[in-house]
Structure 1
Amino acid sequence: MTATHELPAIAIIGAGPSGLAMVRWLNAKGLKAVVFEAADGLGGQWNPAGAHTATWPGMRTNTSRVMTAFSDMDHPEGTPVYPTREQMHAYLQAYADRFDLAGAIRFGCRVEGLARKEGGWRLDWRTEQGSQSARFERVIVATGRQIKAEVPQILGLDGFSGRLGTRHTSAYDGPADWQDASVLVAGCSISALEIAAELAHHADRVTVAYRRQRYVLPKQIVGVPTDHVMFTRVAALMAEKFPPEAVAEGLKAQVLKVAGNPADWGAQVPHDNVFAAGITQSQGFLPAVSEGRIATRPWIERIEGDTVRFADGSAERVDGLLFGTGYTLSLPFLAPEIAETLQLDPVGMDLFAQTFHPDLPGLAFVGLYELLGPYLPVLELQARWVAETLARPELLPAGEQMAQAIAATPPEFKRPPAVPMNALAVIFARLLGAEPAFGDWPRLERALAVGPLSPASFRLSGPDAQDDAPARTAAAAAAFGHIVSDALTPEEQGMLGALAAE
């Protein structure tokens, strides 16, 4: 084992969006870190050459360019509403260049162990030259949530004999392999539906099977990106104040208004409660179903050779199976004692504000949650908060307070299938002291209430406030012709009034 010396006191595992935001904000607080990245380049999922990338050539984001950015840097002029994988990778590379982050990254370093050592943490990693180890005072795990693909156990799956075999959507690399084939896509995730919609233009037949029919939002609503309309501050605040049943009814009404009921398009019937059903997104899936280019089925009961039998008794012969069934949380390098303390399982772990554990001081986890909606604004807020607590430890709640918060969390909320991005963004912004108060910004009240939670809106006040943040917040809200007037509508006035009422 070779000991490595003269390293900063802080280590970050992963150079994807979380790790890049983390080292950028540590630098801003005068704190130096070293980033360990297994791949030969940065970008995480957006790195086409990364071993764990689940993206494919020409793939586009399902969140808008305004909301798929950090607060310090917009996408270049001319970027489409939904950037491609290649444009996202270029954006992250430009971000690293702008803030001189590459010098902190050690590429080709695969972390294999993390354990306690002498009041700090021992990190073990492997390079082409062999194994190395060092002690750090602080370690930040930013490896990402979508690493280990999940394929469900299905009777007969191992014996599937279709000519194209089985694979997870994380291994999908475009429609060429599926040309003129009969394809079964299993799952109702965004990736599953987006891939099915793409294959509907190339394959001979596309069928989608899922355990439950989710409500399906389009990527744009009357020309406005859905993430500008659905993930608002008002929605997050109302979800905190009102009973879950009332919030579910309100959300369902909004979804039906902009997207309709999947059953009316010819898909399966979703659960009446929108939270029980879940929400997914795809611009082309429901239209393809209504046109007969995609068939939908309930979940798979068993597989017999190249024949798939479904729970409703129907059956279909297929050439290939694609599983869009998500990912399990995988942190194999954690020492067993750490994993046990965290109550780590394939779905999640026990953390205060998705970040810290009171019994693991000096260890933080960034970006290891599953979000519904844009990631980058939330990742940046979390990174800013972590950096702030490392620069000013008195800002971090006491261990007892964190333990009480973890214990008080109802079991059903400890491992949610996905967290709405606006809910988590508001939580991190409050912890950071960067959540703008409506009353402090009367000209921006409407933009802040019902406009997008743009990254710039979290630079209005608190640490690292920017002089141009008001103008950039207004511009983000007005993008695509969305919030172009300061005047609240009667409906919006009613929502704000309901929030203000005791």
Structure 2
Amino acid sequence: MVNSASPKRCAIIGAGVSGLPSARWAKAYGYEPVVFELRNNVGGLWYYQNENTEFSCVMKKTIMNTSKEMSAYSDFPPPLDFPWFMTNQRMHQYLQLYAKHHDILKNVRFNHRVTRVERTPDFEETGEWAVEYQDANKNKSSEVFQAVLICTGRQSVPFMPPEYPGQKNFKGKIIHSKDYKDANIFENKKVLIVGLGNSGTDAASEVGQIAKSCFLSTRRGAWIHHRTIYGKPNDIYCNRRILEYVKKVFGRDFHAGLMERAFRSCFDHKIYGLNPEHKSYNQDPILICDELQLRLAAGQVVLKPEIHSFTENSVKFADGTVEEIEDVVMATGFSYNFDYLENGKIIPTKDDDLRLWKNMFPLSLMESKKGTTLAMVGMLQLSGAIMPAMEMQARVFFEVNAGHVKLPTTNAMHAEIMRDQEQRRRQYMGARANYTKVCFIDYMREMGQLIGCYADPFRLVFTDPKLAYRLLFHPDLPYSYRLQGPFAWPKAREMIFSVYERMDCGLIKKDTRAVQKVQSRDKGYLTMSVVSLTLSSAIFFYLLNSLLTVMV
């Protein structure tokens, strides 16, 4: 076993959207990051490869569901010429630019597979971990690290549902959406897509255009939203702190009613047979798809209930209908496998109940004084952009291990996990994947408060009222978590106030792309401002009470 010559090293498993910010913040806190990456490039899921491999990646035509400014890392705004929504190619380009900007590439060991991570014999004194790995030539090695971050994401192990009656006799091909790249292989075929998630709706929207017939099977309806609303990215409207106060004051049913009205304004769920019986807050995240409505309207995609059984060349559905099917795509999500972490003893995976405090720290390690030296980054399902939350997790990890955060007792952590899980069980449908779901704004606030980087708008009312207004009534941008606290970024305030100009630069023709005050005369932004002011008057007394509480 090779001991580290460096005083502090952090092993980071994965060089994707969670591994790269983890390496960036490891450097900031004096660690030497060593990033183990299975692929030959950074980007993780966003490194598209046309051939089928063991690695998961996005589909060929995938476009981000969240807008570029909401999806940015906190000190690295996307290039001005990037449009609102990044394709997978642009997203990969952004990640490469980020890695180069923070000089991370030299710390990445490509084509390396981590095979085992275990505590060293003196772990209780040192908090160190032994990491075993293989290089591209299958040579095995082991090194000791002072910290470990698991950044392999939520989409590594495809989940296949239990076999349906007659499935073994089916003569067609059944694949998981992990192996779906583009629709060309289904041209002029009879195809069934199983699962009404983001992957399922995207696949159906593509396949429906070239297949002989395309069916989309779902057990229940779903709330589906477009990427834009009022002619602008929907997440700049939906992810505002003021809306969380609306939820607290008027109740989540009132808030859900507002959101569902917005969903119906761009997609008549009832007429397309998608109208769900559940409230929008029972489904998180809300599905984002711009094309499914058109495919349904054109008859290119036909909705079906859940599968009842298979025959050799057909599928029978729960409503008794039978359709001839040649190929099936199971868009049924992913599972977890952490057997390489001490044979799966550190993180349980039964029913996806990972027992992670703040979706990061394994509860099984918290009895140890050195138990915080290993954590997960990216085990989240958010009602918003995931990249800022992943970066926040990395910041929290290093602040905790720097001794700057006072952690609750293990019993308190356990109680919090149980309370959160029970709340998720009551709120969300189904058993799988509930335990990783969090509200973007609530989670960012909680994590920001842990390390002192949450800029409370109520504290800024008298010292910086313009900024307070921006933080409360405008998008909850990643830059707002660099206004104060550790490693505050001097340009954060400027980025917050110039966000609308930067957003639209990618869509404005180059010869007219000079800095423009587009937000001051934009109808969409103006509409939301009026709505915000109306809501602010309705909850004035609540905010006043909160302000007085803070001041006291």
Q: Does residue 122 of structure 1 match 2:130?
A: yes
Given residue 34 of structure 1, which amino acid in structure 2 is its aligned partner?
Answer: V
Q: Does residue 157 of structure 1 match 2:167?
A: yes
Q: Supply the distance in 1 between the matched residues of 2:454 and 2:383 (Cα, whole angstroms).
A: 20
Cross-structure match for 2:292: 285
Given residue 227 of structure 1, which amino acid in structure 2 is its aligned partner?
Answer: D
- CA drift at 1:44: 0.8
Q: Supply the distance in 1 between the matched residues of 2:397 and 2:375 (Cα, whole angstroms).
A: 8
- CA drift at 1:349: 0.9
37 and 444 in structure 1: CA distance in 2 versus 1, 3 angstrom threshold: same
Cross-structure match for 2:273: 267
Given residue 66 of structure 2, which amino acid in structure 1 is its aligned partner?
Answer: T
Q: Deviations over 1:433-475 (max 9, x none)?
A: 2221113142133432232221112122222222222221122
Q: Which residues in structure 2 correspond to 1:96-107 (within 5 Å)?
A: 96-107=99-110
Q: Deviations over 1:313-342 (max 9, x none)?
A: 112112211111111122231214633xx4
Q: Which residues in structure 2 correspond to 1:129-208 (within 5 Å)?
A: 129-153=138-162, 154-162=164-172, 165-208=173-216
Q: Supply the distance in 1 between the matched residues of 2:196 and 2:236 (Cα, whole angstroms).
A: 23
- CA drift at 1:486: 7.3
Q: Which residues in structure 2 correspond to 1:297-376 (within 5 Å)?
A: 297-336=304-343, 338-339=345-346, 342-356=347-361, 357=363, 358-359=366-367, 360-376=371-387
90 and 32 in structure 1: CA distance in 2 versus 1, 3 angstrom threshold: same
- CA drift at 1:77: 2.5
464 and 496 in structure 1: CA distance in 2 versus 1, 3 angstrom threshold: farther
8 A contact 2:305–2:318 mirrored in 1: yes
- CA drift at 1:494: 2.2
393 and 489 in structure 1: CA distance in 2 versus 1, 3 angstrom threshold: closer
Cross-structure match for 1:226: 234
8 A contact 2:388–2:478 mirrored in 1: yes
Q: Supply the distance in 2 between the matched residues of 1:491 and 1:477 (Cα, whole angstroms).
A: 22
Cross-structure match for 1:427: 446
444 and 199 in structure 1: CA distance in 2 versus 1, 3 angstrom threshold: farther
| One of 450, 475, 487 as aligned partner of 1:464 | 487
496 and 70 in structure 1: CA distance in 2 versus 1, 3 angstrom threshold: farther
400 and 6 in structure 1: CA distance in 2 versus 1, 3 angstrom threshold: same
Q: Deviations over 1:24-67 (max 9, x none)?
A: 01211222221111222211111124742331223211111112
8 A contact 1:10–1:139 mirrored in 2: yes
8 A contact 1:65–1:75 mirrored in 2: yes
- CA drift at 1:187: 0.7
Q: Percent of pairs identical after alignment?
A: 24
Given residue 333 of structure 2, which amino acid in structure 1 is its aligned partner?
Answer: G
- CA drift at 1:281: 1.5
Q: Supply the distance in 2 between the matched residues of 1:394 and 1:232 (Cα, whole angstroms).
A: 27
| One of 483, 488, 491 as aligned partner of 2:535 | 491
Q: Deviations over 1:199-257 (max 9, x none)?
A: 22222222111122111111111211121111222334555x469xx314422432223
Q: Give secondary structure in 2 for the equivalent of 1:11.
A: strand
| One of 252, 255, 264 as aligned partner of 1:247 | 252
8 A contact 2:114–2:132 mirrored in 1: yes
- CA drift at 1:385: 1.5
Q: Supply the distance in 2 between the matched residues of 1:477 and 1:494 (Cα, whole angstroms).
A: 27
Q: Deviations over 1:45-93 (max 9, x none)?
A: 1112474233122321111111222122122222122111111111111
Q: Supply the distance in 1 between the matched residues of 2:444 and 2:495 (Cα, whole angstroms).
A: 18
8 A contact 1:70–1:376 mirrored in 2: yes
407 and 417 in structure 1: CA distance in 2 versus 1, 3 angstrom threshold: closer
450 and 148 in structure 1: CA distance in 2 versus 1, 3 angstrom threshold: farther
- Runs of 5+ consecutive residues of structure 2 not aligned to the other structure: 426-433, 505-521, 547-552
User: How many pairs were matched up?
Assistant: 494
477 and 191 in structure 1: CA distance in 2 versus 1, 3 angstrom threshold: same
327 and 252 in structure 1: CA distance in 2 versus 1, 3 angstrom threshold: farther
- CA drift at 1:404: 4.0
Q: Supply the distance in 2 between the matched residues of 1:188 and 1:422 (Cα, whole angstroms).
A: 25
More moved, 436-445 vs 401-410: 401-410
8 A contact 1:447–1:486 mirrored in 2: no
Q: Supply the distance in 2 between the matched residues of 1:276 and 1:389 (Cα, whole angstroms).
A: 33
8 A contact 2:74–2:478 mirrored in 1: yes
Q: Supply the distance in 1 between the matched residues of 2:165 and 2:254 (Cα, whole angstroms).
A: 37
Q: Deviations over 1:287-309 (max 9, x none)?
A: 32233222111111111122111
Q: Supply the distance in 1 between the matched residues of 2:199 and 2:355 (Cα, whole angstroms).
A: 27
42 and 496 in structure 1: CA distance in 2 versus 1, 3 angstrom threshold: farther
Q: Supply the distance in 1 between the matched residues of 2:168 and 2:436 (Cα, whole angstroms).
A: 27
Given residue 448 of structure 2, which amino acid in structure 1 is its aligned partner?
Answer: A
- CA drift at 1:95: 0.6
Q: Give secondary structure in 2 for the equivalent of 1:361.
A: helix
Q: Deviations over 1:417-444 (max 9, x none)?
A: 6333233222222222222111314213
Q: Deviations over 1:153-194 (max 9, x none)?
A: 2222333223xx121222111121122222211111112112
Q: Supply the distance in 2 between the matched residues of 1:395 and 1:371 (Cα, whole angstroms).
A: 26
User: Alpha carbon RMSD of aligned pairs, Å?
Assistant: 2.6
- CA drift at 1:22: 0.7
TM-score by length of 1: 0.90
Cross-structure match for 2:282: 276
Q: Does residue 391 of structure 1 match 2:399?
A: no
Q: Does residue 451 of structure 1 match 2:451?
A: no
Cross-structure match for 2:422: 411
334 and 500 in structure 1: CA distance in 2 versus 1, 3 angstrom threshold: farther
TM-score by length of 2: 0.83
Q: Does residue 9 of structure 1 match 2:2?
A: no
477 and 427 in structure 1: CA distance in 2 versus 1, 3 angstrom threshold: farther
Q: Supply the distance in 2 between the matched residues of 1:136 and 1:77 (Cα, whole angstroms).
A: 39
8 A contact 1:216–1:262 mirrored in 2: no
| One of 60, 83, 88 as aligned partner of 2:86 | 83
- CA drift at 1:129: 4.2
496 and 100 in structure 1: CA distance in 2 versus 1, 3 angstrom threshold: farther
8 A contact 2:256–2:279 mirrored in 1: no
